[in-house]
Amino acid sequence: MSVLDVLITYHVAFLDGLRVTLELCAVIWPTGIVLGILLGVIAAGHPKIWGRFTRGMAFALSAIPTLVVLFWLHYPAQAVFDMVINPFFTASLTLSLVNVFGVGEMVRQAIADFPQQYLIAGRVCGLQRRDIVARIQLPILFRTLLPGLMVQQVIMLHTTLFASLISVEEIFRVAQRINSSIYRPVEIYTALGCFFLAVCLPINWFAAWLKKRYTRDLSER
């Protein structure tokens, strides 16, 4: 059985798994981006409290495997509340937290490293603080952060594979079930790679194009 045969024979199961994966992303992506940007702005404005908190949480979540955090939030929570929690909700919460602090630290760092000469130039030109933020700082930060934010979301898409280990029926778990039936690991996981390639390649290409098109060296010469 070739990769094409696997795709044709089990395309319905793969598409169902991909649907669940994208449903996870539909929660993780907007939550991480919106709350992460808000957290990053607050952390940059209050570096002693929120800045340290954001840096600490981002460091901890990058140092501890996401799978461990997922298990911590899933199994103990069910024992504490004495109830069965839908693993989809646990995976959504865990991966959203990872995404929020990842985006938040990215935004905080970008604001902290923002070239001060642009702000000084705005004040010299007589612009108010609000106009400097809207016309100078936000456009430059948007151009700087957008490629990295998109790459971060691709990483979060890959991280959804961990949800299969707490019984979320996403695409990797579907591939495991198919493999347990016909045991063709090379063909099945190659087919899985094709699905991820189809989803991630356009995003990665667009992020690379944005980085090339809009990112500039903002350092002083």
pLDDT over threshold 70, residue 67? yes
Residue 32 within a domain: yes
pLDDT over threshold 70, residue 10? yes
* Structural domain range at position 91: 3-214
Output the CA torsion 195→149→166→78 (10° steps): -150
Which amino acid would we find at residue 99? N
- DSSP helix/strand/coil, 107: helix
Compute the average pLDDT of residues 60-65.
Answer: 88
Compute the average pLDDT of residues 112-135.
Answer: 84
Residue 188 within a domain: yes
**DSSP state at residue 46:** S
Number of H helices, E strands in the chain: 10, 0
Residue 149 within a domain: yes
Which amino acid would we find at residue 167? S
Closest among 35, 36, 162 to 103, alpha carbons compared: 36
pLDDT over threshold 90, residue 56? yes
Query: Average per-residue pLDDT in the chain?
Result: 86
**Residue 163 Rama label (left phi>0; alpha psi -120 to 50; beta):** alpha
**Which pLDDT belongs to residue 109?**
92
pLDDT tens-digit series, residues 90-109? 899 999 999 999 999 999 99
pLDDT tens-digit series, residues 127-169? 888 888 888 888 888 888 888 898 899 899 989 988 888 888 8
Radius of gyration, alpha carbons of the chain = 21
Residue 221 within a domain: no
pLDDT over threshold 80, residue 77? no
What CATH code is carried by the domain that includes residue 167? Answer: 1.10.3720.10
Residue 219 within a domain: no
Residue 165 within a domain: yes
Residue 106 within a domain: yes
Tokens of 33: 């981006």
Indicate the number of domains in the chain.
1
Compute CA 23 distance to the chain's CA centroid, rounded to the nearest angstrom.
14
pLDDT over threshold 60, residue 78? yes
pLDDT over threshold 50, residue 221? no
pLDDT over threshold 70, residue 118? yes
Range of weakest confidence among 4-8, 50-54, 119-123, 215-219? 215-219
**Which pLDDT belongs to residue 101?**
95
Angstrom CA distances, 106 to 16, 28, 37, stand at 33, 16, 9
Residue 64 within a domain: yes
pLDDT over threshold 70, residue 220? no
**Which pLDDT belongs to residue 35?**
96
pLDDT tens-digit series, residues 168-203? 888 888 888 888 888 888 888 888 888 888 888 888
Q: How confident is the model at residue 13 (pLDDT cuts 50, 70, 90)?
A: confident
